[in-house]
A and B are shown apart, each in its own frame.
Chain A
Amino acid sequence: MSIAFIALLVAGLGLIAWVSARARAAAFAGGGGARTRAHSRPSQHGWYVALWTVVPALLFLAIWNNAAGHLIYASVLASPEAAALPGFGLQRATILNEAYALATGASTTAFNREAFALAPVYARAISFYNMIGLAVALLSAFAAGAWAFSRVSPAFRARTRVERVVMAVLLTASSIAILTTLGIVLSLLFESLRFFSMVSPVEFLFGLNWSPQMAIRADQAGSSGAFGAIPLFWGTIFIGAIIAMIVAIPLGLMSAIYLTQYASARVRRWMKPLLEILAGVPTVVYGYFAALTVAPAIRDLGLKLGIAASTESALAAGLVMGIMIIPFVSSMADDSLAAVPQAMRDGSLAMGATTSETIKKVLVPAALPGVVGGVLLAVSRAIGETMIVVMAAGLAANLTLNPFDSVTTVTTQIVQLLTGDQEFDSPKTLAAFALGLVLFLVTLALNIVALRVVKKYREAYE
């Protein structure tokens, strides 16, 4: 009889409590006249009793689930059969694990003979402590449920109490966002601090040499690990903020202008979702597309131009990333253009300006803060993008201005450092968290600035 089964049993009791309390409340709610009118509705009484039945019992089970494991372990070790076990060490742990697997039926054979002797002891201990858990859980469910049931009366304010619980649940749910943020910041910070205790932050932030391979043995020659992240930062900016934006800004902005100012309603209705599909395609698909189709094409182009192009050129990754970013730029530009007051547009047209002159001289300058905010958001999106660069950009940390050359990015290196064998005290693994921290802070700053710019601009016209 497992903990999950007991929990199910308690839930069943809760259902019974809900039905019976509701029936009792319905009896006095329906019968009387104005004098006996109940404060709360029958179902609220039901919820009140059900909550008292279920919550304390489940809380107990949650604690018991952790405690019982230790108690079972201790009682097995205290048994006479355990005296035959070898002293501390791997062997001992293996035998205990095998005995546990035998006792729960997870396996039917074991390598160690002692495990067979221990298995019945284990099984006895498990069933003993589970019985205790069952008894206490049922007892608390009955006791708390009965007490709550005894309070069901016309004057009892069940609604107030139940709604207080609802509010607490709502508050807890919304606090999970804070917990997540806190979890991100703390886990990144904690691991980064461990990294910076091994590698100086100055070397990390300003070093020009990145080669994270650590020597496996102390006497091994070479590759002692260098953690200068400037080449990674440059690669990230080169692909995400320069090449991708050269593609995305003109295409996105011009698409938005055409769709908002020139296109008929029908074209707009079809083209806008079509552009949004570009944003919905999974990035792994873009990455595959970049590696399979775009990168070889660019290498061939480079060969024709007489430039030695790498198969993992920055241009391929940046180009495809730019395509992915187009809908972000275009939808932000779209919103900003739509927010420019119609009077400004009409005024310009009335003065005799053509539509394009109105757009270039009035609409775009007026919408510029919004567009800039959108571009900043797009940049933050691009530098955090992982799969395209993992699949299409290289691993060589080059400081180069040549788009046909291979560069590497922060996200590529995070994936590279954290896949394969991991040991959590080597600077190689911890470096990924330091890179993650930098990425988090930069994207955060970009987002805050972008949102502030956009907000200020919205206020200007409202």
Chain B
Amino acid sequence: MSSLALAPETVDPTPTDWAGAEMRARIRRRYGAERLFKLIGLTAILISAGFLAFLLVTMVGNGARGFTQSEVRLDVDFPRSSLFLDPAALRGFGAAQALAGADFERVVNEAATAQYGQSGPSLFSQGARLRLRDAVRDDPDLLSGRSTIWLPAATAIDIAAKSSGTAAAETAYDRLAAVEAIRTGLNWSFLTGADSTDPTLVGIWGAFKGSLLTMIVTIVLAFPIGVLSAVYLEEYALRNRWTDIIEVSINNLAAVPSIIFGLLGLAVFLNFMHLPRSAPLVGGLTLALMTMPVIVIAGRNAIKSVPPSIRDAALGVGASRVQVVFHHVLPLALPGILTGTIIGMARALGETAPLLMIGMRAFIAAPPGGLSEPATALPVQIFLWSDEVSRGFVEKTSAAIIVLLAFLLAMNGLAIYLRNRFETRW
């Protein structure tokens, strides 16, 4: 009793004067601190969201121009040019050889000099001759007369046409624009081509196809293994040491840095099993090992959320334990599992470091034809282009990033849709 009772002299008997100036000031101070704290929280959120917005705006601002390409008009008088090609030679056997032997670069240079003066050839991209060659191949009749062809502009002119380039390029552009010899249009070859050394000729399709092939290998391996592991751990595993080891392994694998998986792929798949370097097969295997734990963890959560009453009911009508899972639990957990799988795949799609380790950073000028052919992937392509010195690659890199982000956004959107549409709250 005495220990609980306060000594009377330590308690001030006068009630607090809440209306007094001192207390009002104190409350004001406390409320001020409250408002300040709330403001700091709001600022933190806005700064984070601001970074995201700034990142996206920078990328879109730089990248939108990457989808367009300036072209310069070139009048070529084929019969008078130094190109000794017979239209008939391009129709029959040996057309490819005839085209390969023809010096289109000289034709472009001559025609450009004739039309735009001494500096004419520098207006055109290195790849203009290839475009001209393709045009001739598609329509050999061009050779019999004079024709006007639009060819890709050189990088400096291209930049001047879209934004502000160097002073020399700007004057050249103004001269071209005055005679309506330059136009800027959608760059189809960016969406259909593969890597190149010339920024005006690069395309994203090669890397995109490499990514698709890699993702196919990844999902074919990671999805069944991940789902079956999740089923085993959640439904059948006995509480013993082996199960503990499996669980610890999976939880650790989910947190291992991705570059370590690259080292594993390099040591095991390339140096030990001698699988082909730079191939989507090896990339897919490596990413599958990385994605599997994500699918297992998502799968376990989805299976866990199926109420036990469903299992009991199935067991009650005579189903075996395998039938309970495969006929009832798994179908009910599938939306959750799929959501987790898509999120894991989206992570794998954006992953770069492991693919660098297994050599998917090579310069590949043609889209891969199969799983064991050298390929590169979308994020690796972004990394490679970001290293290029030429200024033309800046917008191409950002354009590739837009493609990658759009794809990721679509995958995440699908995951959210699946979750909202099919997920049951028990």
Smallest CB-CB separation from A442: which chain B residue? Answer: B257
With A258-B38, A415-B259 known as contacts, the answer to whether A288 contacts B401 (CB < 8 A) is yes
With A287-B383, A386-B257 known as contacts, the answer to whether A419 contacts B356 (CB < 8 A) is yes
Contact with A440, one of B47, B260, B289 (Cβ below 8 angstroms): B260
Contact code string A331-375 (vs B, CB < 8 Å = 1, else 0):
000000000000000000000001111011000000000000000
How many angstroms from the CA of A190 to the CA of B266 in the assembled complex?
13
Contact B386–A287 (Cβ < 8 Å): yes
Q: Is B231 an interface residue (CB 8 A)?
A: yes
Contact with A284, one of B55, B232, B255, B350 (Cβ below 8 angstroms): B350
The smallest C-beta distance from B178 to any residue of chain A, in angstroms, reads 34
Contact A292–B52 (Cβ < 8 Å): no
Contact with A187, one of B30, B37, B229, B267 (Cβ below 8 angstroms): B267
Q: Which of B257-275 contact A (CB under 8 A)?
A: 257-261, 263-264, 266-268, 271-272
How many angstroms from the CA of A180 to the CA of B236 in the assembled complex?
22
With A180-B253, A424-B271 known as contacts, the answer to whether A250 contacts B44 (CB < 8 A) is yes
Interface footprint category on B = 35 or more
Q: Number of A residues whose C-beta is below 8 Å from B?
A: 86
How many angstroms from the CA of A356 to the CA of B233 in the assembled complex?
43
Smallest CB-CB separation from B37: which chain A residue? Answer: A356
Q: Which of B29-45 contact A (CB under 8 A)?
A: 30-31, 33-34, 37-38, 40-45
Q: Is A411 an interface residue (CB 8 A)?
A: yes
Interfacial chain A residues near B25, Cβ < 8 Å: none
The smallest C-beta distance from B253 to any residue of chain A, in angstroms, reads 6
Interfacial chain A residues near B320, Cβ < 8 Å: 159, 163
Interfacial chain A residues near B250, Cβ < 8 Å: 177
Contact A419–B263 (Cβ < 8 Å): no
The smallest C-beta distance from A454 to any residue of chain B, in angstroms, reads 12
Contact with B382, one of A159, A285, A440 (Cβ below 8 angstroms): A285
Contact A439–B257 (Cβ < 8 Å): yes
Q: Is B417 an interface residue (CB 8 A)?
A: no
Smallest CB-CB separation from B401: which chain A residue? Answer: A285
Interfacial chain B residues near A184, Cβ < 8 Å: 256, 260-261, 263-264
Q: Is A19 an interface residue (CB 8 A)?
A: no
Contact code string A153-181 (vs B, CB < 8 Å = 1, else 0):
00000010011001101110111111011
Contact with A285, one of B236, B347, B405 (Cβ below 8 angstroms): B405
Q: Which of A34-76 contact B (CB under 8 A)?
A: none
How many angstroms from the CA of A415 to the CA of B354 in the assembled complex?
9
Contact B228–A174 (Cβ < 8 Å): yes
What is the predominant secondary structure among interface residues of chain A facing chain B?
A: helix
- Most B C-beta atoms less than 10 A away, residue of A250, A415, A439: A415
Smallest CB-CB separation from B43: which chain A residue? Answer: A254
Contact with B259, one of A183, A277, A386 (Cβ below 8 angstroms): A386
The smallest C-beta distance from A272 to any residue of chain B, in angstroms, reads 10
Contact B48–A385 (Cβ < 8 Å): no
Interfacial chain A residues near B33, Cβ < 8 Å: 354, 356-357
How many angstroms from the CA of A210 to the CA of B118 in the assembled complex?
52
Contact B263–A357 (Cβ < 8 Å): no
The smallest C-beta distance from B329 to any residue of chain A, in angstroms, reads 13
Q: Is B246 an interface residue (CB 8 A)?
A: yes
With A184-B260, A391-B383, A414-B263 known as contacts, the answer to whether A323 contacts B48 (CB < 8 A) is yes
Q: Is B408 an interface residue (CB 8 A)?
A: yes
Contact A277–B52 (Cβ < 8 Å): yes
Smallest CB-CB separation from B51: which chain A residue? Answer: A323
The smallest C-beta distance from B135 to any residue of chain A, in angstroms, reads 31
Contact B264–A187 (Cβ < 8 Å): yes
Smallest CB-CB separation from B358: which chain A residue? Answer: A418
Contact with A251, one of B48, B256, B349 (Cβ below 8 angstroms): B48
Q: Is B346 an interface residue (CB 8 A)?
A: yes
Contact code string A120-135 (vs B, CB < 8 Å = 1, else 0):
0000000000000000
Smallest CB-CB separation from A271: which chain B residue? Answer: B45
How many angstroms from the CA of A176 to the CA of B260 in the assembled complex?
17
Contact A174–B233 (Cβ < 8 Å): yes
Q: Is A275 an interface residue (CB 8 A)?
A: yes
Contact code string A271-297 (vs B, CB < 8 Å = 1, else 0):
100110110111111111101110000
Among A7-15, A195-203, A227-235, A443-451, the one that faces the other chain is A443-451
Interfacial chain A residues near B383, Cβ < 8 Å: 284, 287-288, 387, 390-391
Q: Is B361 an interface residue (CB 8 A)?
A: yes
How many angstroms from the CA of A391 to the CA of B62 in the assembled complex?
18
With A271-B49, A282-B404 known as contacts, the answer to whether A170 contacts B224 (CB < 8 A) is no
- Most B C-beta atoms less than 10 A away, residue of A180, A253, A259: A180
Q: Is A255 an interface residue (CB 8 A)?
A: yes
How many angstroms from the CA of A253 to the CA of B45 in the assembled complex?
10
How many angstroms from the CA of A436 to the CA of B257 in the assembled complex?
10
Q: Which of A392-444 contact B (CB under 8 A)?
A: 411, 414-415, 418-419, 424, 432-433, 436, 439-440, 443-444
Smallest CB-CB separation from B221: which chain A residue? Answer: A176
The smallest C-beta distance from B24 to any residue of chain A, in angstroms, reads 15
The smallest C-beta distance from A235 to any residue of chain B, in angstroms, reads 15
How many angstroms from the CA of A257 to the CA of B42 in the assembled complex?
9
Q: Which of A233-265 contact B (CB under 8 A)?
A: 250-255, 257-259, 261-263
How many angstroms from the CA of A178 to the CA of B236 in the assembled complex?
18
Smallest CB-CB separation from A257: which chain B residue? Answer: B41
Contact A174–B229 (Cβ < 8 Å): yes
Q: Which of B180-230 contact A (CB under 8 A)?
A: 224-225, 228-229
Contact A432–B229 (Cβ < 8 Å): no
The smallest C-beta distance from A280 to any residue of chain B, in angstroms, reads 6
The smallest C-beta distance from A105 to any residue of chain B, in angstroms, reads 15
Contact A180–B258 (Cβ < 8 Å): no
Contact A181–B253 (Cβ < 8 Å): yes
With A255-B41, A288-B397 known as contacts, the answer to whether A171 contacts B34 (CB < 8 A) is no
Interfacial chain A residues near B267, Cβ < 8 Å: 187-188, 190-191, 433
The smallest C-beta distance from A147 to any residue of chain B, in angstroms, reads 24
Contact B258–A386 (Cβ < 8 Å): yes
Q: Is B164 an interface residue (CB 8 A)?
A: no
Q: Is A384 an interface residue (CB 8 A)?
A: yes
How many angstroms from the CA of A259 to the CA of B49 in the assembled complex?
13
The smallest C-beta distance from B176 to any residue of chain A, in angstroms, reads 29
Smallest CB-CB separation from A262: which chain B residue? Answer: B38
Interfacial chain A residues near B52, Cβ < 8 Å: 274, 277-278, 281
Contact with A274, one of B37, B47, B49, B259 (Cβ below 8 angstroms): B49
Q: For the complex of A and B, list the 4 residue pairs with the smallest distance between their C-beta atoms, beginning with the closest.
A: A384-B257, A282-B350, A258-B41, A254-B44
B residues at A contact (CB < 8 Å): 30-31, 33-34, 37-38, 40-45, 47-49, 51-52, 55, 58-59, 62, 224-225, 228-229, 231-233, 236-237, 245-246, 249-253, 255-261, 263-264, 266-268, 271-272, 289, 292-293, 296, 320-322, 346-347, 349-353, 356-357, 361, 379-380, 382-383, 386, 394, 397-398, 401, 404-405, 408, 412
Q: A177-B293, A274-B52, A381-B257 are in contact. List 8 more A-B contacts (CB 8 A).
A: A170-B236, A177-B246, A181-B252, A254-B44, A275-B45, A387-B352, A439-B259, A444-B255
A residues at B contact (CB < 8 Å): 159, 162-163, 166-167, 169-171, 173-178, 180-181, 183-184, 187-188, 190-191, 250-255, 257-259, 261-263, 271, 274-275, 277-278, 280-289, 291-293, 323, 326, 330, 354-357, 359-360, 377, 380-381, 383-387, 390-391, 411, 414-415, 418-419, 424, 432-433, 436, 439-440, 443-444, 447, 451
Q: List 14 A–B pairs whose Cβ atoms lie within 8 Å, in order of A's numbering.
A: A173-B228, A173-B229, A174-B246, A184-B261, A184-B264, A188-B267, A255-B44, A257-B41, A282-B408, A288-B386, A288-B398, A323-B51, A415-B356, A436-B263
